[in-house]
Chain A
Amino acid sequence: MQGAIDSHPDTTTVEFQPSEHHDFRVLGLITFLCSEFLMFAGFFALFLVFRAEAAAWPPEETEVELLLPAINTIILVSSSFVIHFGDTAVKQGDVKGLRKWYIITAAMGAIFLAGQIYEYLTLGYGLTTNLFSNCFYLLTGFHGLHVFIGLLLILGVLWRSRRDGHYGTEHHTGVEMAEIYWHFVDVVWIILFSLIYLLTLI
């Protein structure tokens, strides 16, 4: 028989440690992000095929604006460093530092979203103008939705950090998960920015 039912001295105390709890949730998030990435990969593949098949990409009436997205990119990429300072701070027990850096990250994320909305309003073409604008709005909009979710996660961390002792050197899984998600959003944006904006320069 595999595994006797009667008690065994070693087994009565099998309990999961907080560190293992941490592993669980982080591994769960990373596997989930793998699947998220595949979803974006589907969109990227579609975008590249359309680009290869199209006569002009982007077509005349849908010029892309480069300056604002470039500034936006700089803001989003730098926010990835900022959020890491917050995570480092909480691992040293500095909850005030965590709050400071996370507030800055949230502000940068909000600026990014505001910039994207401003870009949408000023571009002069809409979702249904042509195939390029379909792809443009769907991909950037989908990424914007992910930025928004990331923003909610960061605000959630900030909300919880008001309580003393909620986060500390031992207990910071939530902080770390928000950070991983934010990095993911950032990496996807770098690919998106290269595909949609930089490739148009070629």
Chain B
Amino acid sequence: MAQANITSDMMGQSFPHPDKWKWYHYFTFNIDHKVIGIQYLVTAFFFYLVGGVMALVMRSELATPSADLVDPNFYNAMLTNHGTIMIFFWIVPAAIGGFGNYLVPLMIGARDMAFPKLNALAFWITVPAGLMIIASLFFGGAQAGWTSYPPLSRITANTAQSMWILAITLVGTSSIMGAVNFIVTIWKMRVPSLKWDQMPLFCWAMMATSILALFSTPVLAAGLTLLLFDINFGTSFFDPAKGGDVVMYQHLFWFYSHPAVYLMILPIFGIMSEVIPVHARKPIFGYKAIAYSSLAICLVGLFVWVHHMFTSGTPPWMRMFFTVSTLIVAVPTGVKIFSWVATLWGGKLRLNSAMLFAIGLLAMFVLGGLSGVTLGTAPVDIHVHDTYYVVAHFHYVLFGGSVFGLYAGLYHWFPKMTGRMMNEPLGKLHFVLTFIGTNLTFLPMHELGLKGMPRRVAMYDPQFQYINIICTVGAFLLGISVLPFIINAIWSWRNGPKASGNPWNAKTLEWTTASPPIIENWNVLPVVTEGPYDYGHTPEPTEVSSS
């Protein structure tokens, strides 16, 4: 049958009803999309902690101007693996693999993904890939940065660099499998009454994400394959001495790795579009605008990669073209921001943890977006290239954006995933610590960058030290801020108050089933009678002063 009919004996004979799932049931080769989603989330969170520890090692080193705490080579390995792990093993798998797998079939009224076994395989190849990244540290660690530009990555060629390449290729394979699965699932498996224009915005976002992953990931694989051949088999694709071209690597790399930032943020935009209307108790403003802007970001996002290479000797016409196309991406992104703000406007806001993180994201992402616009213009970029200004920008977008969005999603769907409510005071403590920690860590970095402190090095001029100490304090606060969340998640999963099927009174399909959902999601497939955001709540007339 098309939709694999999952029965409990296919999932291993000892697999009980979802109400009685134990933690170890999540460690099996399971083909239920809900189990796979949670597997992704937990694994990704584990890697988040690993990457976070690496960041703390770096920040500790940077507390003093000299390289006195760790060996500079080890610092480089930390730097490379922090970036790699956070991108490829935390945000992307959590947002796409975790939330995507868990929510898409539930939101479109399907019993599972289109290819359940492929789905499980996609998860289980990310695990050895992640372990390979960690293992590479014992072989000296890849040290060429997460971009691994040749000639650096070719000259420092070692086992660890090859392991790094293989791990990224594995993750890329998994990502393509996931993309194929999402596209077919969303295209073919919507419950018959669910039309395209009633589909929850998260599914629109996942569709755009999948198309983007499908087109960009293989190009990275091509580039990395060539690099692997250069390192291990004596070819000279990226060796200028023998006619090769190092800039070609950058093109192939950024053709994937720029869209990768949309892979990290588009699903988060989807989560925002689900969380905000539910907790603002208002229909979302501009449904179609949000849906189409996801596709627009996906399309334009494929044509902006060269803005990472303004200082790589690109000709002026190229800088011009890619400056303009980069600035154009701000338009659909702005459309989304305005839609969310308009949804909040006059709503009956429920300021619980999920909503706090969503609103926090709005603030942080706008700041990150603004510094992004400045960086997207070639003249400014050339000035601040490879300084901490860039670090500040992408951490505002990736931490203030993606990670805040992941937290918002975790608080929002935790009752659905586990059948238990989370503890609100702990959640709010988590939010406050995270918000202060993020700004304390990354806001001063703008100043550092404008003053000219270079990124990627363990030593710096003593004049930057006092700002660096603020950043380091912020980083440790950020490290501590994870603790309330971990305590909350584990405690609530075991002892939290039981959640009903629809604790937030939401309207999308995933809330029409039990919490946690049964195997195959529904006894009887639901029928869509209303749009996903029809809260029937017209904004209350606010007193507008006519002055």
Contact = CB atoms under 8 A, between A and B. Distances in A.
Contacts of B176: 32, 35
B2 interface: yes
- Which of B109, B176, B216, B513 has most chain A Cβ within 10 Å? B176
Contacts of A20: 2, 188
Interface in A40-57: 40-43, 45-46, 49-50, 53-54
Contact of B242 (A3, A39, A131): A131
Contact of B2 (A21, A134, A138): A21
A6 B176 CA distance: 38
B222 interface: yes
A104 interface: no
Interface stretch (B54-62, B64-72, B178-186, B308-316): B178-186
A28 B371 CA distance: 39
B244 interface: yes
Interface string A102-138: 0000000000000000000000000110110011001
Contacts of A131: 236-237, 242-244
Contacts of B219: 38-39, 41-42
Nearest to B502: A1
B529 to A, nearest CB: 6
B183 A3 contact: no
A74 interface: no
Contact of A128 (B222, B234, B527, B534): B234
A194 interface: no
A159 interface: no
Contacts of B252: 42, 45-46
A61 interface: no
A78 interface: no
Interface in B497-525: 501, 507-509, 512-513, 522, 524-525
- Which of A1, A15, A53, A127 has most chain B Cβ within 10 Å? A1
B218 A3 contact: no
A24 interface: yes
A77 to B, nearest CB: 25
Given A34-B214, A35-B176, A38-B219, A46 B512 contact: no
Nearest to A32: B180
A4 B525 CA distance: 9
Contact of A2 (B114, B115, B532): B532
Given A32-B176, A46-B248, A16 B3 contact: yes
B173 to A, nearest CB: 10
A43 B218 CA distance: 10
B180 A3 contact: no
Interface string B240-254: 001111001001100
A24 B188 contact: yes
Interface in B17-73: none
A48 B229 CA distance: 19
A92 interface: no
Contacts of B236: 128, 130-131, 134
Contact of B215 (A2, A38, A50, A128): A38
Contacts of A40: 222
B235 A127 contact: yes
A4 B115 CA distance: 27
A60 to B, nearest CB: 14
Given A34-B214, A130-B243, A2 B530 contact: yes
A67 interface: no
A170 interface: no
Nearest to B529: A2
A2 B526 contact: yes
A5 B512 contact: yes
Given A24-B114, A127-B234, A134-B237, A11 B526 contact: yes
A31 B218 CA distance: 12
A128 B232 CA distance: 11
A118 to B, nearest CB: 22
Contacts of B544: none
Contacts of A39: 218-219, 221-222
A191 B252 CA distance: 20
Contacts of A135: 237
B368 to A, nearest CB: 29
A39 B176 CA distance: 12
B188 A2 contact: no
B198 to A, nearest CB: 8
Given A1-B512, A38-B218, A11 B234 contact: no
A201 interface: no
Given A2-B512, A16-B3, A24-B184, A34 B233 contact: no
B12 interface: no
A127 to B, nearest CB: 6
Contacts of B244: 50, 131
Given A35-B176, A46-B252, A11 B525 contact: yes
Nearest to A18: B2
A10 to B, nearest CB: 7
A131 B226 CA distance: 12
Contacts of A10: 527
A126 to B, nearest CB: 9
Contact of B245 (A5, A8, A12, A49): A49
A134 B243 CA distance: 11
The list of the 5 closest CB pairs from A to B, nearest first, reads A3-B526, A42-B222, A39-B218, A16-B2, A21-B2
18 contacts: A2-B531, A3-B529, A4-B526, A4-B529, A11-B527, A14-B192, A16-B2, A17-B2, A20-B2, A24-B184, A27-B184, A39-B222, A42-B222, A46-B222, A127-B233, A130-B243, A131-B236, A135-B237
Interface of B: 1-3, 109, 114-115, 176, 179-181, 183-184, 187-188, 191-192, 214-219, 221-223, 225-226, 229, 233-237, 242-245, 248, 251-252, 255, 501, 507-509, 512-513, 522, 524-532, 534
